[in-house]
Structure 1
Amino acid sequence: MHLSYVLFILFPLCSGLSTTCPRRCTCDSTQSVQCYRVLQVPREIPATTKWLYISHSKIKHLQISDFRKMSCLEELILSCSGTESVENNTFKALSTLKSLELWKNKLRRIPTSLPSSLEVLKLGDNSISVLHESNFEGLKNLRVLDIQNNLILAVSFSTFLPLCSLQSLTLDGNNMESVYGPLKLPRLKYLSMENNKLHTFSGSFFAPLQYLLFLRLTGNLLTKVPLNLPKSLLSLKLDRNQLKVIRFRDIKHLENLSELILSENQLSSIDGIHLLPNLTILELSRNHLQSMPLRLPARLQKLDCSNNFIQRVTAQGFQDLQDLRHLFLDNNTVSMFEAGALDGCAQLSNLALEQNLLISIPLRLPDTLARLDLKGNDIQHVGERELKYLKQLQVLNLRNNKISALDRKVLEYLPRLRYLYLDGNPWNCSCELLRIGKVLIAKGTDVSGGQCATPAESHGESWMSSKKLLQRCEDNLSSAKENKEIRNKMMADDLSTGGVNLDDDYYDYEID
């Protein structure tokens, strides 16, 4: 018994288990405690707790006494609890704390005297308006800082000088109009300042960021690409700004860039984009493009030119795009699509051409296509030449065109078709169309058929389930069977009376 007592005393405190758990909380064997709808930080939280999660509560004020006994705490998340203030030095004694998240509260300032052990600090969705260098003193181990959706209007980036290990900084949604640099964070890899009101950056702002990989500047007021972007960048997001031109000199050095997002700007052309040898994703949707970019990076895998004013698609822009898999040209004014324009796209699987002015399905599309979207064009005919080589096609969208009939032979060329969208067309509901629908369903194709335009008695009914059409086709079938029986009887009578046999393969003899 004495031995057991000694072992208990020697066993590390942070590894111990507690038999008590506060009301409205759950505790588990991993020293994790979760509490909901509490009015204060529960006093009975086990001293061995490593992970504490408090959410959707009503805790207006945090104080030192709330965490005095939690000497083993490594992660504290207190969210959606209406917290307005934190007593000075509340977290200072938590020497093992690595992650502190106080998001979606009502904090007006950053808590003071944070422990030097801290690696993650998330304060998003509060009411913080000012940042001071003293807020971050001693945080030499901090790797992640998130202060998005607060009330910060301006930032002097000397504020972050103590954060020598910082790798990720998020300042989205603060209505910032100006920033002062340079930003001396030598280990920073991720920087996001989306949805602010930034107009420009000084030429030296990004110069110290030699290891920056991801830069997010979506939703600002930029009119040009910032100067001296780090050569190390892998991803650059500049969508929802006011860019009118992309200059060769601004991007020529970004040889490592893999993703470039330029959607929702005012671009009518782009210059030098082909000089980005490692670019795999390029998004140009919702700009002012009237033609396809003529020179594109050879390693491109995704190209989005949707919602522009492109009228023609020719082979000139796609000759060397052997890695292209996704091409989005929807919501343009494409009326001419050159036959074989995409012959060079040997891996294309997804082609979006919805909401254009095409009167026919483009010829010689890549046989690698798995999805083809042609919704909202002026297509009247679905022919053999357009589809016969698309053996890999799984999704075909022909909604809202001018198609009135289908040829069963055409669909036989699509052995892997799984989804066929045909609604919104002026269907002539014939028995042949009904049979085609049944064949498609039998082979496992999910068909959205649409409504009959003709004949009049079936108008407005679904041609996949029209009772009138089904009855008419069954009547026709019965009539055809009766006619066939009459013909067979007549032929039998002819044979019995020495009539002429019209079957060339018929021989009237017996084998001995």
Structure 2
Amino acid sequence: MTQMHPFPAPVGLWVRKGNPSLLYSQTQPTRLDVQFHIHRSCSAEMQTGECWVAVLYSQHRGLRRQKDLQEGIWQLSSVNPAASNRHSHRGLSPGQLSICQVNLTSSSAWRIAGQGAGLAATEDMMERVEGRSGVSTTCPRRCSCDPAQSVQCYRATEIPREIPFTTRRLYISHSKIKQLQIADFRRMSALEELVLSCSGTESIENNTFKALSTLKSLELYKNQLQQIPTFLPSGLEILKLADNSINTLHASDFEGLMKLRVLDIRNNLIATLPPSAFSSLCNLQSLILDGNHMESVSAPLQLPRLKYLSMADNKLNSFPTNFFASFKNLQFLSLSGNFLTKVPLDLPKSLLSLKLEKNQLKTVRLRDMKHLENLSEFFLSENQLTSVDGAQLLPNLTTLELSKNQLHTMPLRLPGRLQKLDCSDNLIQRVTAQDFQGLQDLKHLFLDNNAVSTFEAGALQQCVQLSNLALEQNLLISIPLRLPDTLARLDLKGNDIQDVGEQELKDLKQLQVLNLRNNKISALDRKVLEYLPRLRHLYLDGNPWNCTCDLLRTRRALVAKGTDVRGGQCAAPAESRGESWMSSKKILQQCEENLSSMERGKEDRKKMKPNEAFSVGVNADDDYYDYELD
């Protein structure tokens, strides 16, 4: 059928028992497709003729109501001669679809026709069937509606009454809706997703969502709910109640939700975790309990299909024996931000990621974890660890984060597949080649904010894929020698480096970012830059630069390469102190004047007699030749 223009007015069929009398005004002429069908609730009355059918029509064109419904006859006045054969349908069965094309060209009112006592139709007496255009009927104030059957509302004080019947997704935020009631959603029989956030909702009437049989996702986060909504629809798959004031879980809260896959109740006031509360959730895959007040858990949870469990930022200090044993499919576990003093035992073999940051761990017995042969990510930052040894027992580990502990030495015996190692913010003083033996897959190494003063030459030579090396805020006096030629980023900010030489950088052909901020560098030879063909970002500020014309020559080389440079300020000579050596016109002018003076001197010497020229040459400052600009 021909594609029609968007149609903002009510389109479709109303069916009710009795004689309806309704009126709706619309002034925009348009052309549309309408799908008609006989409402199933009328089938019982078909033989008695008590079920009436009414259709939108133009008051100038009229609608012929067919009394003999038991014969299954529909008849519209012919408004489109080209499609008039579609306007009469005989032998139509209840529930069967028929398509009619109607050309509504009148700008006058459209009427839902009928005879009788003029009774107003109520919500439970009618059904709307949307047109082929898929466009909603009306859009409530402070809402936006789109053809995809989504409605977004804001700053509402109640659930809008005019929301289209075919709405599948409803999003309401930043409103003031203290209570939800059954009547709020009675007409929304097609609703699949409901999001009500930041609206101050305090209570929900019992059974409010029970009749929404198509609802799959319910999100009520950032409100003031004190309990889980009751009698939720059995087809629900996603339930998010984060950032409320829920303080207790009951055994009946999730009863019957056998299809629920995601449950998010983070940032509430839950203190205990009764296992019976989750007994119905046989298909739950993701459970998020972060930011509650849980101090302990009493017994294992029976959630056989759970893949993601997060209990971060609670007050947990231990777990009962075999608490995790039933999680045969668990892949992600976060216990960060608790009071754990040791790694829980009996963690499931299926784990891929384990997060234990911000606890009180002083030791990690990796031999108790060797069964975690699939573990890929291990996060131990912000604990009290003084050493880590034996991580090679985790053969598939690719990420190990140990920042903000109390490590004095590099971790020993690391796994060969490691790709990211973060040992920043510790007390490490020395880096040797032995520390990185066999780490041929390492790509990212973070050793910043330590006390490294010794970095053995070639310590990282076996790291043949290393692209990112962070050594800022240490005690290095020079750039480490024989760094891997694969480096793309090198961060040496905040050390005591005084010189940037060719030997340190000559092999770094892939380097794109070099950070030398806040060191003690005063000069930079432009020849060094020739070894860095791919350099894109160079950070040099915070150094005591001696702004000679030689440095300006380096500046021009950087500009010609298109390198983004943060050059910093001059510390010398005195007349240039505080000037930016990358952008100061004053310094550039001085160097140009020196050049001009030098060239004038050359011309004068050509005009002098040989003995005069020799006399002047003795007193000439040959350093001027070093300041020649390109």
TM superposition score normalised by structure 1: 0.94
Map 1:453-472; keep pairs closer than 5 Å.
453-472=571-590
Q: Is the 8 A contact 1:399 1:421 kept in 2?
A: yes
Q: Secondary structure at the match of 2:551?
A: helix
One-letter amino acid matched to 1:140: M
Give me the whole-angstrom Cα distance separating, in 1, the residues matched to 2:598 and 2:87: 95
The answer to whether the Cα contact below 8 Å between 2:390 and 2:412 also exists between their aligned partners in 1 is no
- Residue 463 of structure 2 is aligned to residue 345 of structure 1: yes
After TM superposition, give the deviation of residue 4 of structure 1 in Å. 4.8
- Tell me which residue corresponds to 1:502: none
| Counterpart residue number, 2:290 | 172
DSSP 3-state at the match of 1:320: coil
Aligned counterpart in structure 2 of residue 274 of structure 1, from 388, 392, 400: 392
Q: Which amino acid aligns with 1:425?
A: N
Q: Larger Rg: 1 or 2? A: 2
Cα shift at 1:491: 10
Instruction: Map Cα deviations across residues 376-395 of structure 1 (whole Å, 9 max, x no partner).
Output: 00000111100001000010
1:43 aligns with 2:130: no
Tell me the residue number matched to 1:61.
Answer: 179
1:115 to 214, 225, 233: 233
| Mapped partners of 1:455, 1:476: distance in 2 | 15
Cα shift at 1:251:
1.3
User: Does structure 1 retain, via aligned residues, the 8 Å contact 2:453–2:476?
Assistant: yes
Residues 351-366 of structure 1 mapped to structure 2, 5 A cutoff: 351-366=469-484
Matched with 2:97 is 10
Task: Name the structure 2 match of 1:231.
Answer: 349
Give distance in 2, aligned partners of 1:427 and 1:5. Answer: 91
Partner of 1:402: 520
Pairing 1:193–2:311 present: yes
Relative distance call for 1:333 and 1:493 in structure 2 (3 A) is closer
CA contact (8 A) 2:367 2:393 kept: no
In 2, the alpha carbon distance for the partners of 1:15 and 1:303 equals 57
Do the aligned partners of 1:226 and 1:250 also contact (CA within 8 Å) in 2?
no
Farther-moved stretch of structure 1 (245-254 vs 341-350): 245-254
Q: Do the aligned residues in 2 keep the contact of 1:300 with 1:323 (CA within 8 Å)?
A: yes
The 8 Å contact of residues 458 and 466 in structure 1, kept in 2 or not, is answered as no
Q: CA deviation at 1:488?
A: 4.8
Task: Sort the Cα spacing of 1:136 and 1:14 in 2 relative to 1 into closer, same or farther, 3 A.
Answer: farther
Q: CA deviation at 1:77?
A: 0.4
1:498 corresponds to which residue? none
The aligned residue for residue 381 of structure 2 is 263
* Aligned-pair CA distance for 1:467: 3.6
Whether the 8 Å contact between 2:182 and 2:209 is mirrored in structure 1 is yes
- Aligned-partner Cα distance in 2 for 1:331–1:305: 9
Equivalent position to 1:220, from 338, 350, 353: 338
- Equivalent residue for 2:24? none
Return the letter of the residue paired with 1:345: C
Is residue 312–residue 334 contact of structure 2 (8 Å, CA) maintained in 1? Answer: yes
Letter of the 1:133 counterpart? A
Q: Give the Cα–Cα distance (whole angstroms) in 2 for the partners of residues 331 and 83 of structure 1.
A: 46
Partners of 1:488 and 1:347 in 2: how far apart?
59
What CA distance in whole angstroms lies between the structure 2 residues aligned with 1:60 and 1:374?
55
Match of 1:318 in 2: 436
For 2:412, the equivalent position in structure 1 comes to: 294
Determine if contact 1:37/1:58 at 8 Å carries over to the other structure. yes
Equivalent position of 1:509 in the other structure: none
The equivalent of 2:511 in structure 1 is: 393
Segments of 5+ residues of structure 1 without an aligned counterpart are 495-512
Q: Are 2:204 and 2:229, in contact at CA under 8 Å, matched by a contact in 1?
A: yes
Q: Match for 2:498: what amino acid?
A: Q
Q: Say whether residues 1:244 and 2:362 are aligned partners.
A: yes
Partner of 1:510: none
Distance, in Å, in 1 between the alignment partners of 2:140 and 2:184 is: 14
SS in 1 for 2:486: coil
Determine helix, strand or coil for the equivalent of 1:215: strand
1:203 deviation in Å? Answer: 1.6
In structure 2, C-alpha distance between the alignment counterparts of 1:363 and 1:378, rounded to whole Å: 16
**Distance in 2 (alpha carbons) for counterparts of 1:99 and 1:5:** 41
**Residues in 2 aligned to 1:154 and 1:445: alpha-carbon distance in whole angstroms:** 58
Tell me the secondary structure at the aligned position of residue 424 of structure 2.
Answer: coil
1:414 matches 2:543: no
Structure-2 separation of matches of 1:484 and 1:133: 98
Residues matched between the structures, number:
494
Q: Aligned AA for 1:50?
A: R
Asked if 1:383 is matched to 2:470, the reply is: no
Q: 1:408: how far off?
A: 1.2
Partners of 1:395 and 1:418 within 8 A in 2: yes
Determine whether 1:486 maps to 2:586.
Answer: no
Aligned to 2:449: 331
Q: In 2, Cα distance between the equivalents of 1:417 and 1:492?
A: 49
User: Pick from 269, 280, 283: which aligns with 1:162?
Assistant: 280
| C-alpha distance in structure 1 between counterparts of 2:429 and 2:483, whole Å | 18
Query: SS of the residue aligned with 2:253?
Result: helix
Q: Is the Cα–Cα contact under 8 Å of residues 372 and 396 in structure 1 kept in the other structure?
A: yes
Distance 2:409 2:129 in 1: 65
| Match in the other structure for 2:554 | 436
Partner of residue 27, structure 2:
none
Matched letter for residue 151 of structure 1:
L
**What is the CA distance between 1:13 and its match in structure 2?**
5.7
| 1:71 counterpart (189, 193, 198) | 189
Consecutive unaligned residues of structure 2, counting only runs of 5 or more, are: 1-74, 77-85, 99-126, 613-630
TM-aligned CA distance change 1:472 to 1:66, over 3 Å: same
Give distance in 2, aligned partners of 1:194 and 1:243: 15
CA contact (8 A) 1:14 1:72 kept: no
Cα offset for 1:275?
0.9
**Cα-to-partner distance string for 1:314-344 (whole Å, 9 max, x where unaligned):** 0111121111110000000000000000000
The percentage of aligned residue pairs carrying the same residue is 74
2:97 counterpart letter in structure 1: L
- Which has the larger displacement, 32-41 or 269-278? 269-278
